[in-house]
Amino acid sequence: MQKPVFAANWKMHNGPQETRAYLQRFLAAYPEDPSRTVIFFPPAVSLAIAGFALRERPEILVGVQNVYWEEKGAFTGETSAPMARDAGAKVALVGHSERRQYFGDTDEVTARKCAAACKAGLIPMLCVGERLDERERNATQAVVLRQFKTGVSRLEPSQIANMVIAYEPVWAIGTGRTARPEDATAVHTAIRRSLREMIGPKAAEVPILYGGSVNAENAAELLAAPEIDGLLVGGASLDPETWVRIVRA
Ligand code: PEP
């Protein structure tokens, strides 16, 4: 049984000074626990300071919230995967629903970003999830599997075996509505089946996280559900003490 993964997506919160203050409080409340993996996704401008603040806790990883697929060049405002790695990132979030909704990241763009992350030695955490209208017309699994299959279409099987997947129903992100554990399990099971078709028994080792209005009260129940290997948390990760309670769920 792999270790549960707890990933904090700070979105556009916590600049460098706030990151330093947050991590001081978090580290004071969270002694090393080898039974779980913790990942922070700060904004790109705070990556280096997060890496520095966590330098004595190598078991806690830092990730970048988004990368561009080119390595360098005239792409004003973008961050490449090698640059994020240089700043301390080990993981790259790709295909988050806010990227898809507000910045036009398509399945194909997401696939390029996944490939760029792998090429730079970052672990891609690929986010997939259906909108409410898609759930209401029973298209959840079709949408999620399309996003997943296209997202990994540029990866080698060995790269797929080393990635992380996050199922985040769009209607649950930041809304206070959470998927029922059994509904999340059904989607995770479908993703796992698809993974098995691609990479065989190694599919069992790929963590599939749930995200969408997770908080300190519902985290344990979600984690206990079959096929939920960890949690990706936005809003509730912004308070360090609440985040410690979730990580200990
Ligand atoms: C997210 O941003 O990935 C997320 C799940 O947000 P929230 O926990 O706030 O719903």
Identify the residue whose tokens are 């629903």: 97
Mean pLDDT for the stretch of residues 176-197: 97
- Ligand 1: centre distance to CA 168 (Å): 8
pLDDT tens readout for residues 59-71: 999 999 999 999 9
pLDDT tens readout for residues 105-160: 999 999 999 999 999 999 999 999 999 999 999 999 999 999 999 999 999 999 99
- Ligand 1: centre distance to CA 79 (Å): 22
- Residue ranges and CATH numbers for the domains of the chain are 5-247 (3.20.20.70)
**Which atom, in ligand 1's list, is nearest to the CA of 172?**
10
**Which atom, in ligand 1's list, is nearest to the CA of 173?**
10
Tell me the sheet residues that pair with 41.
Answer: 9
Residue 233 beta carbon below 6 angstroms from any ligand 1 atom: yes
For residue 75, with 0-12 CB atoms within 10 Å meaning exposed, 13-18 middle and 19 or more buried, which class applies? exposed
Mean pLDDT for the stretch of residues 26-42: 96
Q: Which residues contact 26 (CB under 8 A, 6 or more apart)?
A: 240, 243, 244
Asked if 130 is an active-site residue, the reply is: no
**Which residue out of 71, 96, 98, 197 is catalytically annotated?**
96
Judge contact between 96 and 167, C-beta under 8 A: no
Angle, CA 22 vertex, CA 19 and CA 27 arms, to 5°? 120
**Which residue out of 98, 130, 134, 168 is catalytically annotated?**
168
Residue 97 beta carbon below 6 angstroms from any ligand 1 atom: no
- Ligand 1: centre distance to CA 40 (Å): 13
Confidence of residue 1 (pLDDT cuts 50, 70, 90): low
CA 5 to centroid of chain Cα atoms:
9
Which residue type, as a one-letter code, is found at position 228? I
Judge contact between 115 and 84, C-beta under 8 A: no
pLDDT for residue 40 is more than 70 = yes
Asked if 188 is an active-site residue, the reply is: no
How many CB atoms lie under 10 A from the CB of residue 136?
Answer: 11
Residue 88 beta carbon below 6 angstroms from any ligand 1 atom: no
Whole-model pTM: value is 0.97
**Which atom, in ligand 1's list, is nearest to the CA of 168?**
5
